[in-house]
Structure 1
């Protein structure tokens, strides 16, 4: 018997009881669609994390002073001297005042104020929209000037150009010298969009801020960041007389750790989804055993007119594969559909469809049909014609 005839007969058989066939396929459908969807979510999340780190740069090192008091203070002039080392490109010490009261005209809101230098924007990959960046003169003369994040500018000025306008920050007047382009959140949820940036010494003097808590360090390349990290660690250990009074956060290491964590979680979820495929395979075996019992007389008639054991084996095996293959195909289409629909349903959720994994999931569903259909098919092929014909 030709393969085309076997497949046609199998399709006719499985479509004769559509509800039973669908229920048999259900485990395979759920398994394949789950694998495709979960992998696309996992890869989309990994890509989203990578883009967030690219926004900050993987050649970025963040230095945080953890202690309090003079013994754990970071000195601005000492930090800036590191720019003379080849593994350091730019350094931006910062002071932050959270929840400052900012007022313009009759509008008043709370935003974070960041005191820093003219390197900060380049390091965190923020760009000027209107006006100019902080200048060395602003830092030297402790000028009361401010850069507004996109969200802050929109809140107070809407579509108007705020450059040259005066705003009130905690009772102190600052002149707006520029605004930033919208950038979105960085890792951890922080963002320049909802911040006001002022010269570092201005922030220290006007807002009575004690010390530099966070410093952003940019290396020339991603490879240099590890050299910069080691150099900074040696300096801080010597300065603080301890290796516990500070924290060094390497963006490249964080990216690798988060990507590995996401991939591990995705693999675990996929493993759970594959169990559904195995459960579906057991369902296929069960229904094929029932089918063999129901069609025992048919098997006896076919054998009595010359059908060989191989023909019976292939007939029932192909039926099992057709059921699992159709279930895999439906699950594949469902998984692809969900992957494309998710970003529209939940805009914050990104997905990235993996064609390779989708194909593997479908092929696995076919293999499930072969494995779990083999026993019932073999049982049918071993029936003796005389016994089969006696069956009611």
Structure 2
């Protein structure tokens, strides 16, 4: 039997029971669409992470203290002395008071308060919308001044001018000297937009915060990063007499770490979604076995008039492949639609279409049809004509 005749007969059989065919394809459709969409979301996240870090440049180092005891204490003056060493451009130690109660007039909201110095904003590539950022004099005199992110400004002041207004931060009054343009997340995962920035010593004194746990260090050039990192490592080893209790990341390592975490999560989700394809394959096998039982007499008649075993096997195998292939094609199109629609559903999440992965998922769905359709097709081809003709 010619290939096109096999396809025509298989299509006619598949379309003869549209509801049953649609239900059979459902597992394959969901599997292919899920794989395509999840990979698109994962790639979008990885690209967003890379873009976020690249906007900060490749000269940035981030020092995080992880240990207890002595390894939780860094001295601000010691850190700033390293700024004069060759290869260093700027250093911005930070303290963070998470979920602080911020009051203005009769409104209260929780935001993170970050204590830092005048270098921080430039290192994070942030921009001032109005007023100014922290100055060295604010650090030296422990002034009670604050710079607010765009979300904080919108929450308390709307489109009004916040300059000169007073914020109550957990009982201490700070005067707003500036507000920032919208920026998004920085390297530590916190948001410039939803944070309030105050002089580091002022925050430490008011709230008895004794430790600098995160420090941003900018090298003069990308070629100096390795040298600067080596100097910082030696300083920390000598200070804590240990090689543990702290981590030093450069921009490239941060990108790799965040992208690796995103890829791992995406791979796990894709693995779960791929199970739908296998479930769909089991459904195809089940319906093809039912089809063989329903068409036993037809098989007997065809064999009695000379149909070869190979023709019977190919006929049922092609039917299984068409069901899985159509399901894969519909899932592929659905995956594209969902990937394009996802940023509208979740504006904080971007997607990047993964047509290559979609093609692989489609081909895998066809393979599922071959694998799970082979047993029913083989069973049909082995039916003896005399036994088949006896079936009512």
- Report what 2:270 is aligned to: 270
Indicate how the Cα distance of structure 1 residues 96 and 380 shifts in structure 2: closer, same or farther if over 3 A, else same. closer
Q: Measure, in 2, the Cα distance between the counterparts of 1:390 and 1:78.
A: 95
Displacement after TM superposition at 1:314 (Å): 2.6
- Report what 2:37 is aligned to: 37
Displacement after TM superposition at 1:126 (Å): 1.5
Indicate how the Cα distance of structure 1 residues 57 and 286 shifts in structure 2: closer, same or farther if over 3 A, else same. same
TM score, norm. by length of structure 1 = 0.81
- Report what 1:295 is aligned to: 295
Contact 1:62–1:248 at 8 Å: present in 2 too? Answer: yes
Task: Establish whether residue 328 from structure 1 lines up as the match of residue 304 from structure 2.
Answer: no
Indicate how the Cα distance of structure 1 residues 17 and 52 shifts in structure 2: closer, same or farther if over 3 A, else same. same
Offset from partner CA, 1:154-212 (integer Å, 9 cap, x none): 34433233345566667877654422112234466522323333444555667776564
- Report what 2:256 is aligned to: 256
Moved more, 378-387 or 12-21: 378-387
Displacement after TM superposition at 1:115 (Å): 3.6
Indicate how the Cα distance of structure 1 residues 260 and 146 shifts in structure 2: closer, same or farther if over 3 A, else same. closer
Q: What SS does the aligned partner of 2:118 have? A: coil
- Report what 2:217 is aligned to: 217
Task: Establish whether residue 370 from structure 1 lines up as the match of residue 370 from structure 2.
Answer: yes
Indicate how the Cα distance of structure 1 residues 381 and 65 shifts in structure 2: closer, same or farther if over 3 A, else same. closer
Q: Measure, in 2, the Cα distance between the counterparts of 1:366 and 1:74.
A: 60
Task: Establish whether residue 8 from structure 1 lines up as the match of residue 4 from structure 2.
Answer: no
- Report what 1:148 is aligned to: 148
- Report what 1:129 is aligned to: 129
Displacement after TM superposition at 1:121 (Å): 0.3
Q: Measure, in 2, the Cα distance between the counterparts of 1:14 and 1:314.
A: 15
Indicate how the Cα distance of structure 1 residues 18 and 96 shifts in structure 2: closer, same or farther if over 3 A, else same. closer
- Report what 2:236 is aligned to: 236
TM score, norm. by length of structure 2 = 0.81
Q: Measure, in 1, the Cα distance between the counterparts of 2:296 and 2:233.
A: 78
Displacement after TM superposition at 1:109 (Å): 5.9
Moved more, 248-257 or 16-25: 248-257
Unaligned runs of 5+ in 1: none
Q: What SS does the aligned partner of 2:91 have? A: strand
Displacement after TM superposition at 1:238 (Å): 1.1
Q: What SS does the aligned partner of 1:193 have? A: coil
Q: What SS does the aligned partner of 2:28 have? A: helix
Moved more, 311-320 or 50-59: 50-59
Displacement after TM superposition at 1:123 (Å): 1.2
Offset from partner CA, 1:347-369 (integer Å, 9 cap, x none): 44444331111111111111122
Contact 2:124–2:186 at 8 Å: present in 1 too? Answer: no
Superposition CA RMSD, Å: 3.7
Q: Measure, in 2, the Cα distance between the counterparts of 1:383 and 1:99.
A: 73
Give aligned pairs, total.
392
Moved more, 63-72 or 1-10: 63-72
Q: What SS does the aligned partner of 1:160 have? A: coil
Moved more, 74-83 or 162-171: 162-171
Indicate how the Cα distance of structure 1 residues 2 and 87 shifts in structure 2: closer, same or farther if over 3 A, else same. farther
Q: Measure, in 2, the Cα distance between the counterparts of 1:389 and 1:62.
A: 79
Aligned counterparts, 1:57-96, within 5 A: 59-64=59-64, 73-96=73-96
Displacement after TM superposition at 1:9 (Å): 1.6
Unaligned runs of 5+ in 2: none
Displacement after TM superposition at 1:384 (Å): 5.0
Contact 2:72–2:212 at 8 Å: present in 1 too? Answer: no
Displacement after TM superposition at 1:111 (Å): 4.9
Q: Measure, in 2, the Cα distance between the counterparts of 1:102 and 1:144.
A: 14
Q: Measure, in 2, the Cα distance between the counterparts of 1:105 and 1:309.
A: 86
Moved more, 108-117 or 226-235: 108-117
Q: Measure, in 1, the Cα distance between the counterparts of 2:188 and 2:270.
A: 27
- Report what 2:338 is aligned to: 338
Q: What SS does the aligned partner of 2:193 have? A: helix
Displacement after TM superposition at 1:12 (Å): 1.2
Contact 2:72–2:211 at 8 Å: present in 1 too? Answer: no
Displacement after TM superposition at 1:235 (Å): 0.6
Offset from partner CA, 1:97-152 (integer Å, 9 cap, x none): 56667666666666554443221101122211123333445555665554232233
